[in-house]
Chain A
């Protein structure tokens, strides 16, 4: 029992339930299927991002460039499909955007794994380089006529039902992408040597190298994987919005990192579970939603996110420090 309470997931779940309870007490409509679907719809893109960020944090790095990769992949893929006229299938769009994201991720990987540069500063540089390149050389105009594949994707629903008052609520098929991404990543992290290597790398890079983890290869994989996931998240976002906006998404990175950190991943590496991460995303989405319901101005959102980062990282770090002091 004590172990259950020491787990980060338990804490996050309790906070999540408390927030839901408070919001439900104020707004009775909160506990309903339409709200649930709304939250899931809002959380989809952020959750795909968060899965990638989890991998980076677990390996002891940080990535702030993934939103720029997503915007880049989304815009370039959409523009290419419109120009060359092969955008009838969403699968092609996803593969194309994922591929572009993967290539950009490899660029991050080169600087981090091969050149051994600090991840924060590298990705701060690539964030600006990718976005600057996109806006300078590819374009700044919105693409409002997105290809057919993306349009039909946004209209395809996983679940569609009618509520008591006659309005139709639905869960878009994009949610399925999240389920696939989460499942694949979960298997990767928990069932493969590669997953173990990622955690080992985050826990202690030197020891990981000594037990035979190929550090450079694993780092390349991590940043390429995150890049691919970001590209997919970008194209899903563009499809759901039915517009490719090159200025979109960048600026979201801190909220995503906050969510992953809240879910129990640590920047010092080696920690973090997929379940915790998804709980963290749920918490951030519910809190942002609740703030509006509770009548708190959206200007406070930054303060709340910042506090969440500090509490989410501070509590475990402080506990670890106390434990270390007790042990001498």
Chain B
């Protein structure tokens, strides 16, 4: 993973030689990614020591593996927008709306949740397509508001987020929408045969690999980083900022929609306000993962480590019976703390470069 990171910097000229393992271990604490890795391990060890009978068990590991993919999907979407110096405050509301549309379509085609057969599979496929279509529309609206009408991303996605949430509330009347076909929830809550990997985790890993590939190996990825570093310079370098912004918000919405489907399948229902605290968490994951909220810097591997460490922390606090209010306070305080630390190291980094 470390090697992949070194290559992930958007400077094809400066691809380093493969460092030998000893030096990697030695300099682990010296790099941002190494520090994050150590923090993740530390959280795991501390939680294991605090709750030795509950935390480092097969059951807990498996339940954590089912829990973090949904927030991971949303964080991936959020990451793309942060990389451009923007933010997508609407991501969770659009994810819920997409999931609601999916359940509605599935219910329309296959009203009996217990039914089996090809018809139900068709209903599920149609539902997934409907959710992706909803996310596409939502993502295009976000992109047009930001790149077309020049509204700052914070306000644009604040406004669209309220609209998505409102439409979702109108569609459901504010209640949870039930009626998932049992096959769909069976797949979504199941694991891959033989390997034992939860299906949501598989989807998340695939999405993470896809995003990492897009960012590191394609011209689109290079444009995203350049645009995030300096939009004006990117424009003068001949980059179509409109197209980059549109694609980023479209992609972020699609990733969010898949996250919304995972949430819905785990909760066995879709609701307008599932995951209200996820907005804070996705931003926290992004910032903890070393993504610069002003744009231009950040890697998928950092995000993965951040998701893991927060999942360990969250499960651990849950086992220690810390109240939800205190957990929320912890996330808020952690967000501020991490940003202060990052800001410090960023300043030093800049000085060292010059």
Contact = CB atoms under 8 A, between A and B. Distances in A.
A258 B162 CA distance: 10
Nearest to A122: B336
Contacts of B339: 111, 115, 117, 121-122, 125
A118 to B, nearest CB: 5
Nearest to A321: B150
B155 A313 contact: yes
Main secondary structure, interface of B, reads helix
Interface size range of chain B in the complex:
35 or more
Contacts of A133: 329
Interface stretch (B46-54, B168-176, B190-198): B168-176
A132 B329 CA distance: 4
A310 B166 contact: no
A181 B169 CA distance: 36
Interface stretch (A88-96, A148-156, A299-307): A299-307
Nearest to A314: B149
Contact of B162 (A111, A127, A306): A306
Contacts of B163: 302-303, 306-307, 310
B107 to A, nearest CB: 20
A321 B283 CA distance: 29
Interface in B146-163: 148-152, 154-156, 158-163
Where chain A touches its partner, the secondary structure class is helix
Contacts of B57: none
Given A122-B339, A310-B156, A303 B149 contact: no
Interface stretch (B114-122, B127-135, B206-214, B320-328): B320-328
A98 B155 CA distance: 28
A206 B301 CA distance: 35
B147 to A, nearest CB: 10
B223 interface: no
A8 B283 CA distance: 33
A111 B163 CA distance: 31
B154 A120 contact: yes
Contacts of B155: 257, 261, 267, 309, 313
B87 interface: yes
Contacts of A124: 279-280, 283, 332, 335
Interface of B: 87, 145, 148-152, 154-156, 158-167, 169-170, 173-174, 279-280, 283-284, 287, 293-294, 323, 325-333, 335-336, 339-340, 343
Q: Which 9 pairs across A and B sit closest by C-beta, in order of nearness?
A: A132-B329, A306-B162, A302-B166, A128-B332, A303-B166, A309-B159, A129-B332, A306-B163, A135-B325
Given A125-B333, A130-B332, A320-B150, 15 more contacts: A62-B154, A117-B343, A125-B331, A129-B336, A132-B330, A132-B332, A299-B169, A299-B173, A303-B167, A310-B151, A310-B156, A310-B159, A313-B151, A313-B156, A321-B149
